[in-house]
């Protein structure tokens, strides 16, 4: 793993939050980059600040302060150069941020393995899984409440909707977050890369039970997921398409 | 605490132009004196700060010890928790930061610093406070009506805020909107006074660039407020109609759009940050200049930067909405504008640091507060960069990282800035010197716990903890022992910080009882308020002795002068 | 006695006039926010044109004429006040108030007609904006007329004549808001 990639895994490495999706490391890399860039500025500014306070403290020796009005160029450059440098670093951050933003929110990878519909309502998540056929709004769709089942390493599209008020679909381990708005369907994507059970939070206050609007994302291996699909496909859909079992797919 | 205001109009030689009208304490209720109105704003704001602080205590206790019977409150239900965080935010911004920093110090300082005897519209000024007072009662009433206080976050996003079947607080949410709306009206009335007083009532000889920076900043803040609040007032009318008569401005089922409110809210909400930031920035630069005995580094740079910040602040609002369902392409534009605004703000911080260079720094209590403002606000500023970058905001949006970030901006503004201003102008307001030793104890016992509250919250936010959730025990990742320890740590720090405020109140009480008298100019500062009695009499100066200005406010340590300060009104020597 | 503050004019512009302009600046953004929201919605909802077709353009045009005329009398009042003729200024101000009352009367008739035909504020988005924007404007008309009555009473006694101009500036603003409302709510079908 290269150094830059290692940086993207920093928060995973220190055990704060795991990397659970294909783009989580991109976001983390951006965060680490911003931390480094502004961190240098921040530390430098605070150090100079404290140094000035120490150095120019009135020690009771009768020394008078200098008279500097900051009008001439010799003095002003101490402000203009750093602030041009801030501008340069801003551009760097903007460029990297654009990349991440475009990858996650603007560019939708085509040919998803499965499309799911996520509907927020007071105060639960309703997940409509594509089922065995990989397509949404067919008879074999699997509906669950507060439980999202996905297969590891598959590309998912989601359609995010809300029934009543604003909700926000957030799975921190995947670094995914998108508000759900009543009356709209917002499409996005994710690709889980880590099996396990992860928290789904609602990230937009949605009324009395906002706290308990908790879900779980189950990321399963291909076999586990096939078994789950088989066990949960609605009976009326399973019978006519008996051939269309996960093993036949 | 109210008695000091009494002294403002009593026992001074200039009683000859006293008000005629109601006598006794009623006189203070109906006074049009800008100093009395400033005190009214300040004490109302301080009272509301206690209310908001108590709310913080209650919900932090719930977070540290979920389900506990919080002493002084009881069990915190999920709905009550939501109402507590909602009103904590609302009160701290609209009923603490704005009335104390903008209204109280604006009212107290502007006429004194520009060398006049009152605001240009004293009665409108009084009306401003009266409207504000009514709004205070409305917001307090909204907490206790049937159904409880509004619980849809201080941003009040519809449809949750617009429909009682969703928010379950039919009275609370309407009263909340009315209260906030009245508060806006109060500040519009006050702002007109601030702007016109600065423009028209400056002392003879005072040019635009002889005005102390704090006055500039308060006035720029008032202009920002005036130009940004309108759309939200219109939005508030729409929201009230949605709530009460069933229109559908924000209801998608009837062709409305909930995102519209977010645009209206943040078009105001972001400039609002600068509305409260600028007065605090102004207070801090006054104090730094005085106690570093230095001229401000680049007075005009500061003013131009502040104006640039103000203009830019109108073009960044959607960075609050990156993931709210707006067109993702818009995020690119707002990422650029948001990161650009870091340039003028960074420049302001550089100016403040540069002003220290070559100074003769005296670490009095107000100076400590002012320096702490710069040090702490820097943290708030740099963490803002993370949130302005849309890519990182996908993860950080609505987490505790955001919460910690804006507390690192608003705490320095509303608490540190206020204490800086209060301790610096206390001698002028009440005529007595506060105890410096107690003041420093109070300072350190506020600053250190403050950092111990919010630095851990950055970690929680990075760990994926979202805001406005009353109990994390249901989330496997957030219920980790380490995370719960962090929550307890933050809560304990808060308790220490709240207790430390008792030192401040004791100091005020002690100073009021037996503090040494302050002369006219205890800090040896230059601006005009230090040339009159402490506290200033009604009319500020004797009508025959109104100040005339000869120079800018920061002529400290001018070479060739015996004194290291040079009051603005001191006539130039004939021989020079 | 008057505070010294009120007697100064460092900018050379009367303080009252400055204040009125700042009031208008804050009012502009209130109406600006409301109308911008309306325009955005209107562009997104072409079907609102059906609702807009119900509004009566002729009545709206008549009301526009009434307001413009009342602005003219406000100017004449200012002119009279400049010459120190308080009585004449008051007379023209009363004319303006009369214009305001006619405007409100016509407005009442319109609303009564529309509401009795089932077009209420809750009917759809267009009507919500129609009643809110026109209502907010009507509120400004009422407030302006009341203030104007006080100014006229003083002016008739030759007092505070400079206020005639201030209320006139405000009245022009109310007029201009209507100039924006009329095409947006009535003409655009």
Pairing mode of beta strands A196-202, A186-190: unpaired
Whether residue A97 is found in the same domain as residue A187: no
Q: What is the domain partition of chain C in residue ranges? A: 15-187
Domain boundary at A106, A138, A167, which?
A: A106
Q: Give residue B448's pLDDT.
A: 97
Question: Per-residue pLDDT tens for B128-152?
Answer: 999 999 999 999 999 999 989 999 9
**What confidence tier does A124 reach under pLDDT thresholds 50, 70, 90?**
very high
B-proximal residues of A, 160-199, CB under 8 Å: 164-166, 168, 170, 172-173, 175-184, 186, 197-199
Q: Give residue B19's pLDDT.
A: 46
Distance CA A146, CA A213 (A): 8
Q: Looking at the partner chain, which of B159, B300, B360 has a beta carbon nearest the beta carbon of A64?
A: B360
**What confidence tier does A70 reach under pLDDT thresholds 50, 70, 90?**
confident
Residue A89 in tokens: 């670093």
Contacts of A106 in chain B (CB under 8 A): 328-329
> Is the pLDDT assigned to residue B346 strictly greater than 70?
yes
Mean pLDDT of B211-220: 96
Whether residue A213 is found in the same domain as residue A146: yes
Closest CA–CA distance from residue B298 to any residue of chain A (Å): 5
Q: Under an 8 A CB cutoff, do B361 and A69 touch?
A: no
Q: Give residue B17's pLDDT.
A: 44
Q: Are B172 and B142 in contact, with CB atoms under 8 Å apart? A: yes
> Is the pLDDT assigned to residue B371 strictly greater than 60?
yes
Mean pLDDT of B238-263: 92
Q: Under an 8 A CB cutoff, do A56 and B358 touch?
A: yes
Q: Under an 8 A CB cutoff, do B152 and A205 touch?
A: yes
Q: Give residue B572's pLDDT.
A: 87
Residue with token string 């606000």: B377
Q: Is B255 on the interface with C (CB under 8 A)?
A: yes
Contacts of A98 in chain B (CB under 8 A): 332, 335, 390-391
Question: Per-residue pLDDT tens for B406-432?
Answer: 999 999 999 999 999 999 999 999 999
Closest CA–CA distance from residue B53 to any residue of chain A (Å): 22
Residue A10 lies in a domain: yes
Interface of C with B (CB under 8 A): 1, 3-6, 8-11, 13, 15, 18-19, 22-23, 25-34, 36-37, 40-41, 44-45, 48, 121-122, 124-125, 128-129, 132, 136
Q: Give residue C124's pLDDT.
A: 87
Q: Is B547 on the interface with C (CB under 8 A)?
A: no
In the sheet that A186-190 helps form, which strands lie side by side, from edge to edge? A142-145, A124-129, A114-121, A156-162, A186-190
Q: Give residue C1's pLDDT.
A: 66
Q: Give residue B359's pLDDT.
A: 93
Domain count for chain A, please give it.
2
CA atoms within 13 A on the CB side of C166: 21
> Is the pLDDT assigned to residue A244 strictly greater than 70?
no
Q: Looking at the partner chain, which of B233, B255, B539 has a beta carbon nearest the beta carbon of C124?
A: B255
Q: Is A73 on the interface with B (CB under 8 A)?
A: no
Distance CA C153, CA C142 (A): 17
* DSSP string covering C165-180: HHHHHHHHHHHHHHHH
pTM of this prediction?
0.93
**Residue C46, phi then psi, degrees to nearest 5:** -60, -25
Q: Are B156 and B260 in contact, with CB atoms under 8 Å apart? A: no
CA atoms within 13 A on the CB side of B59: 23
Q: What is the domain partition of chain B in residue ranges? A: 3-8+31-70+79-545
> Is the pLDDT assigned to residue B575 strictly greater than 60?
no
Distance CA B264, CA A220 (A): 43
Q: Under an 8 A CB cutoff, do A186 and B325 touch?
A: yes
Whether residue A120 is found in the same domain as residue A229: yes
Residue B537 has what DSSP assignment?
A: P
Q: Looking at the partner chain, which of C25, C36, C125 has a beta carbon nearest the beta carbon of B256?
A: C125
> Is the pLDDT assigned to residue A249 strictly greater than 70?
no
Mean pLDDT of C173-178: 96
Q: Read off the CATH number of the domain in which A193 is found.
A: 2.60.40.420
Mean pLDDT of A132-136: 86
Q: Is the ipTM of this complex over 0.90?
A: yes
Mean pLDDT of C66-90: 94
Q: Is B333 on the interface with A (CB under 8 A)?
A: no
Mean pLDDT of B1-7: 39
Question: Per-residue pLDDT tens for B495-511?
Answer: 999 999 999 999 999 99
3-state helix, strand, coil in chain B (%, to 5): 70, 0, 30
Contacts of A27 in chain B (CB under 8 A): 391-392, 394-395
Domain boundary at A106, A124, A145, which?
A: A106
Residue A245 lies in a domain: no
**Best of A7, A165, A202 to mutate (most B CBs within 10 Å, chain B):** A165
State whether residue A218 is helix, strand or coil: strand
Residue A102 lies in a domain: yes
Q: Are B501 and B423 in contact, with CB atoms under 8 Å apart? A: no
Whether residue A52 is found in the same domain as residue A82: yes
**Class for domain C15-187, per CATH?**
mainly alpha
> Is the pLDDT assigned to residue B3 strictly greater than 80?
no
Q: Give residue A68's pLDDT.
A: 87
The fraction of chain B above a pLDDT of 90, given in percent, is: 86
Whether residue A67 is found in the same domain as residue A181: no
Q: Give residue A245's pLDDT.
A: 44
Helices of type H across B463-526: 481-514
> Is the pLDDT assigned to residue B484 strictly greater than 60?
yes
Question: Per-residue pLDDT tens for B24-42?
Answer: 666 777 889 999 999 999 9
* Structural domain boundaries, residue A154: 114-238
> Is the pLDDT assigned to residue B11 strictly greater than 70?
no
Helices of type H across chain C: 15-44, 48-52, 57-82, 86-116, 125-156, 162-182
Residue A148 lies in a domain: yes
Q: Under an 8 A CB cutoff, do C15 and B232 touch?
A: no
Q: Give residue A134's pLDDT.
A: 83
Contacts of A212 in chain B (CB under 8 A): 78, 474
Q: Give residue B9's pLDDT.
A: 40
Q: Are B355 and B294 in contact, with CB atoms under 8 Å apart? A: yes
Sign of CA dihedral C148, C149, C150, C152: positive
Question: Per-residue pLDDT tens for C121-158?
Answer: 988 889 999 999 999 999 999 999 999 999 999 999 98
Q: Give residue B574's pLDDT.
A: 57
Distance CA B164, CA B146 (A): 13
Q: Is B526 on the interface with A (CB under 8 A)?
A: no
Among residues B237, B235, B199, which one has the least CA distance to residue B215? B199
Q: Give residue B22's pLDDT.
A: 54
Q: Is B475 on the interface with C (CB under 8 A)?
A: no
- The arrangement of secondary structure in B3-8+31-70+79-545, i.e. its CATH architecture, is Up-down Bundle (1.20)
Mean pLDDT of B490-498: 97
Closest CA–CA distance from residue B552 to any residue of chain C (Å): 17
Q: Under an 8 A CB cutoff, do C18 and B235 touch?
A: no
Do chains C and A have 3 or more beta-carbon pairs under 8 angstroms? Answer: no
Whether residue A173 is found in the same domain as residue A102: no
**What confidence tier does B10 reach under pLDDT thresholds 50, 70, 90?**
very low
Q: Under an 8 A CB cutoff, do A16 and B378 touch?
A: no
Mean pLDDT of B58-81: 94
Residue A129 lies in a domain: yes
The average confidence (pLDDT) of chain A is 90
Closest CA–CA distance from residue A232 to any residue of chain B (Å): 25
The average confidence (pLDDT) of chain B is 92
Q: Looking at the partner chain, which of B117, B247, B264 has a beta carbon nearest the beta carbon of C5?
A: B117
Question: Per-residue pLDDT tens for B523-565?
Answer: 999 999 999 998 999 899 998 899 999 999 999 999 988 889 9
Q: Give residue B12's pLDDT.
A: 41
CA distances from B225 to B92, B102, B191 (A): 17, 11, 8
Q: Give residue A246's pLDDT.
A: 45
Domain boundary at A106, A124, A141, which?
A: A106
Contacts of B206 in chain C (CB under 8 A): 10
* Gyration radius (Cα) of chain A, Å: 26
Whether residue A234 is found in the same domain as residue A120: yes
Q: Under an 8 A CB cutoff, do A183 and B374 touch?
A: no
Whether residue A58 is found in the same domain as residue A162: no
The fraction of chain B above a pLDDT of 70, given in percent, is: 95
Q: Give residue B2's pLDDT.
A: 38
Residue A249 lies in a domain: no
Q: Is A38 on the interface with B (CB under 8 A)?
A: yes
């Amino acid at each position: 793993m290269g150094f830059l990639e290692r940086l993207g895994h920093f928060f995973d490495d220190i055990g704060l939050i795991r990397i659970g999706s294909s783009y989580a490391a991109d976001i983390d890399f951006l965060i680490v980059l911003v931390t480094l860039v502004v961190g240098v500025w921040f530390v430098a500014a605070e150090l100079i600040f404290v140094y000035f306070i120490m150095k120019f403290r009135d020690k009771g020796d009768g020394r008078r302060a200098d008279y500097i009005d900051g009008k001439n160029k010799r003095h002003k450059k101490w402000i203009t150069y750093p602030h041009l440098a801030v501008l340069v670093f801003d551009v760097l951050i903007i460029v990297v941020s654009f990349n991440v933003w475009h990858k996650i929110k603007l560019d939708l990878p085509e040919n998803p393995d499965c499309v799911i519909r996520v509907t927020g309502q007071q105060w639960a998540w309703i997940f409509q899984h594509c089922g065995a056929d990989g397509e949404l709004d067919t008879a074999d769709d699997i509906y669950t409440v507060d439980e999202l089942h996905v297969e590891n390493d598959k590309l998912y599209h989601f359609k995010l909707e809300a029934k009543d008020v604003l909700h926000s679909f957030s799975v921190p381990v995947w670094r995914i977050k998108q508000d759900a708005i009543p009356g709209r369907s917002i499409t996005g994507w994710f690709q889980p890369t880590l099996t396990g059970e992860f928290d789904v939070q609602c990230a937009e206050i949605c009324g009395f039970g906002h706290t308990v609007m908790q879900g779980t994302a189950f990321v399963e291996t291909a076999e586990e997921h096939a078994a789950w699909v088989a066990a949960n496909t609605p009976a009326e859909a399973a019978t006519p398409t008996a051939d269309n079992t996960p093993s036949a797919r | 605490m109210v008695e000091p205001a009494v002294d403002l109009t009593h026992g001074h030689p200039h009683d000859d132009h006293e008000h005629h009208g109601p006598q006794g304490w009623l006189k203070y209720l109906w006074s049009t004196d800008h100093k009395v109105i400033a005190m009214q704003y300040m004490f109302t704001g301080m009272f509301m700060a206690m209310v908001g602080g108590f709310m913080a205590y209650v919900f932090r206790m719930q977070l540290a010890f979920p389900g506990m019977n919080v002493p002084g409150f009881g069990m915190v239900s999920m709905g009550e928790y939501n109402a507590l965080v909602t009103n904590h935010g609302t009160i701290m911004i609209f009923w603490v930061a704005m009335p104390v920093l903008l209204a109280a110090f604006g009212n107290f300082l502007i006429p004194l610093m520009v060398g006049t005897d009152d605001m240009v519209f004293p009665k409108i000024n009084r009306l401003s406070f009266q409207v504000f007072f009514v709004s205070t009662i409305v917001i307090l009433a909204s907490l206790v009506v049937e159904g409880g206080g509004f619980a849809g976050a201080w941003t009040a996003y519809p449809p949750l805020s617009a429909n009682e079947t969703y928010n379950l607080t039919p009275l609370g949410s309407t009263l909340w909107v009315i209260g906030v709306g009245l508060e806006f009206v109060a500040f519009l009335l006050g702002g007109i006074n601030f702007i016109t007083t600065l423009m028209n009532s400056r002392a003879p000889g005072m040019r635009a660039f002889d005005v102390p920076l704090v006055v500039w900043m308060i006035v720029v803040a008032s202009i920002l407020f005036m130009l940004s609040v309108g759309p939200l007032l219109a939005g508030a009318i729409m929201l009230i109609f949605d709530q009460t008569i069933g229109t559908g401005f924000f209801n998608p089922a009837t062709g409305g759009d909930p995102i519209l409110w977010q645009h209206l809210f943040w078009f105001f909400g972001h400039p609002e940050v600068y509305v409260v930031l600028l007065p605090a920035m102004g207070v801090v630069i006054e104090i730094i200049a005085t106690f570093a005995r230095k001229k401000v580094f680049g007075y005009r740079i500061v003013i131009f930067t502040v104006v640039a910040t103000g203009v830019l602040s109108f073009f960044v609002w959607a960075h609050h909405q990156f993931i709210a369902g707006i067109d993702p392409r818009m995020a690119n534009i707002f990422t650029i504008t948001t990161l650009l605004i870091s340039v003028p703000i960074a420049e302001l911080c550089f100016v403040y640091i540069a002003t220290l260079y070559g100074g003769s720094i005296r670490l009095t209590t107000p100076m400590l507060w002012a320096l702490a403002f710069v040090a702490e606000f820097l943290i708030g500023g740099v963490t803002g960069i993370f949130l302005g970058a849309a890519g990182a905001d996908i993860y950080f949006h609505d987490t505790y990282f955001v919460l910690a970030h804006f507390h690192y901006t608003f705490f320095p503004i509303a608490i540190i800035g206020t204490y800086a201003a209060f301790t610096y102008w206390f001698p002028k307001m009440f005529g007595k010197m506060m105890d410096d030793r107690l003041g420093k104890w109070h300072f350190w016992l506020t600053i250190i716990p403050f950092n111990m509250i919010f630095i851990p919250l950055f970690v929680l936010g990075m760990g994926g903890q979202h805001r406005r959730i009353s109990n994390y025990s249901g989330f496997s990742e957030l219920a980790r022992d380490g995370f719960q320890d962090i929550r307890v740590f933050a809560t304990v720090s808060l308790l220490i910080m709240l207790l430390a405020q008792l030192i401040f109140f004791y100091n005020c009480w002690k100073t009021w009882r037996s503090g040494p008298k302050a002369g006219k100019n205890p800090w040896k500062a230059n601006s005009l308020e230090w040339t009159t009695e402490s506290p200033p009499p009604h009319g500020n100066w004797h009508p025959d002795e109104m100040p005339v200005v000869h120079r800018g406010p920061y002529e400290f340590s001018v070479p060739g002068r015996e004194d290291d300060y040079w009051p603005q009104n001191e006539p130039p020597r004939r021989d020079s | 006695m008057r505070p010294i503050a009120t007697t100064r004019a460092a900018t050379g512009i009367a303080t009252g006039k400055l204040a009125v302009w700042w009031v208008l600046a804050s009012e502009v953004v209130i109406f600006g926010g409301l109308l911008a929201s309306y325009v955005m919605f209107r562009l997104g909802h072409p079907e609102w044109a059906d609702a807009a077709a119900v509004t009566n353009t002729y009545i709206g045009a008549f009301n526009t004429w009434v307001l413009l005329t009342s602005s003219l009398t406000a100017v004449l009042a200012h002119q009279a006040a400049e010459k120190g003729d308080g009585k004449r200024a008051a007379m023209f101000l009363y004319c303006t108030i009369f214009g305001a009352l006619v405007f409100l009367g016509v407005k009442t008739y319109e609303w009564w007609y529309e509401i009795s035909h089932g077009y209420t504020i809750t009917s759809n988005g267009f009507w919500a904006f129609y009643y809110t924007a026109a209502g907010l404007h009507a509120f400004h008309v009422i407030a302006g007329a009341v203030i104007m009555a006080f100014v006229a009473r003083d002016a008739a006694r030759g007092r505070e004549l400079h206020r005639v101009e201030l209320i006139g500036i405000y009245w022009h603003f109310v007029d201009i808001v209507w100039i924006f409302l009329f095409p947006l709510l009535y003409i655009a079908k």
